[in-house]
Structure 1
Amino acid sequence: MCLAGRTLLMSGGSRGANLILLAKSDTPDRRLSGTIHTAAAAIEAAGGSALAVVGDVRDEASVQRAVERGVAANCLWPETYIATDAVKNILGGEAAMDRSRSPEIVADAATTILERPASECTGNTFLDMEVLHDAGVTDLSPYGGAGELEYDISVDRPG
């Protein structure tokens, strides 16, 4: 997977490539580690370049202007809980973490989407596991979840 020469504008990425982070979270929250600024600093410390932009993707006119300039606008959502500070500190502690997949599943799905030409892949809503299945990944066990997985509240359970 190669994303060389591409720039990513990512909303909701303030909690941890050439990356422009667009998020509303520019102030610390005691329950969640990191802000848009600390995420940008971590990318730069790892040798990348980053620009933190405080913004709101709910402003349809702003999103439309970006799309008109050739920026793909897609949504990627996890099928299940993802093992993050929000899940641990807000949704249910270690028990919720045990029912979560690792953040790598979202990263792998995002990379798969980002490799597609922007002109051919825009305006979509994806689930992480569907993207990976379409890419030929059939075994999701490396992404964890010790027991029964907890489905995200925004996702219909299978069956």
Structure 2
Amino acid sequence: MSEQDALAGRTILMSGGSRGIGLAIAVAAGRRGANVVILAKTDQPDPRLPGTVHTAVAEIEQAGGQALAVVGDVRKEEDVERAAAQAVERFGGIDVVVNNASALNLTGTEELSVKRYDLMQQINSRGTFLLFKAALPHLRKSDRARVLTLSPPVTMAPHWLGKFPAYALSKFGMTILTLGWAAEFADAGIAANCLWPETAIKTAAVQNLLGGTDTVDRSRDPEIMADAAMAVLSLPQERSGETIIDVQILRETGVTDFTRYGGGDDPELDFFVDELSAASE
């Protein structure tokens, strides 16, 4: 099955997506004929950050897809349920859930406030749970139900756990939920996988929080994650319960040259990744 066949006419419910990786995935899906429903808070422009949920919808439609903006907070059960209901009302069902919304805070335990700790857990693992749960009755009705969560492989390596335990917990929670659903709902035909970038990706978070221009120059373009996401969403239904690195799945599709995605000769590895794969050297 081609990527076009896998996503054409399918409805995706995504958290976040006004900019960055989520937007790149949404636009790529629109290009393949998908309907994309985006739940995000960005109703009005922010001078510090480009894009709103409305500009995202315009880009998806310009790419050839259909899209719907739902202004809301993935932390709020009523907002998530409203997004799922509007997706079904507008497009007739939900075939794919993309858990994209995420909060990043790399503060150590002593300095991290309880408020910011709660924010990460609520957006990352709780938001992932809420979005899937709201979509689940509709996923059960799809003949090609899939979940894609942007979260890392779970590692107990002390050099990662010791860097930012609270952030690690929130992201590992997203992964554990997703791999758990792959097992829990296998008999219902719902495939669930996680996707994570090998390297840092050029986003506002990298620019503003993770080292500025130097790190951005060593980061790959969001399109690498968009292309990887399209490949994951086109996998056979039996491919489920995996945490997949972007270059890994692209290599399966025949990509061998990753220089077109940028990042230079010495790209910055992403969190929870210890070395470049042979496929990207």
Fold-level match, TM-score > 0.5?
yes
Deviation at 1:122, TM superposition (A): 4.5
Partner of 1:31: 48
Deviation at 1:96, TM superposition (A): 1.3
Aligned 8 A contact 1:96 1:150 in 2: yes
Q: In the aligned structure 2, how far is the partner of 1:139 from the partner of 1:21?
A: 32
Q: In the aligned structure 2, how far is the partner of 1:25 from the partner of 1:123?
A: 30
Give the root-mean-square deviation of aligned CA atoms: 2.5
Match of 1:74 among 142, 145, 148: 148
Structure 1 window deviating more from structure 2 (14-23 vs 125-134): it is 14-23
Q: Say yes or no: does 1:14 pair with 2:88.
A: no
Q: In the aligned structure 1, how far is the partner of 2:244 from the partner of 2:138?
A: 20
Q: In the aligned structure 2, how far is the partner of 1:37 from the partner of 1:122?
A: 32
Q: How many residues align?
A: 157
Matches within 5 A, 1:89-128: 89-117=208-236, 119-128=237-246
Structure number, greater radius of gyration: 2
Structure 1 window deviating more from structure 2 (90-99 vs 22-31): it is 22-31
Q: What's the TM-score once normalised by structure 1's chain length?
A: 0.79
Question: Could you list the per-position Cα deviations for residues 1-55 of structure 1 after superposition, in whole angstroms to 9, with x for gaps in the alignment?
Answer: 4243333333332213233233333344443211222201222344432012343
SS in 2 for 1:8: strand
Q: In the aligned structure 1, how far is the partner of 2:52 from the partner of 2:242?
A: 27
In proportion to residue count, which structure has more helix?
2
**Matched residues, percent identical?**
45
**Structure with more relative contact order (C-alpha pairs < 8 Å, separation 6 or more):** 1
Matches within 5 A, 1:39-50: 39-50=56-67
Q: 1:69 to 1:5 in 2, by over 3 A?
A: same
Partner of 2:129: 58
Question: Could you list the per-position Cα deviations for residues 77-124 of structure 1 after superposition, in whole angstroms to 9, with x for gaps in the alignment?
Answer: 21211112222233222211111011121111112122235x434444
Structure 1: which 5+ residue stretches go unaligned?
Answer: none
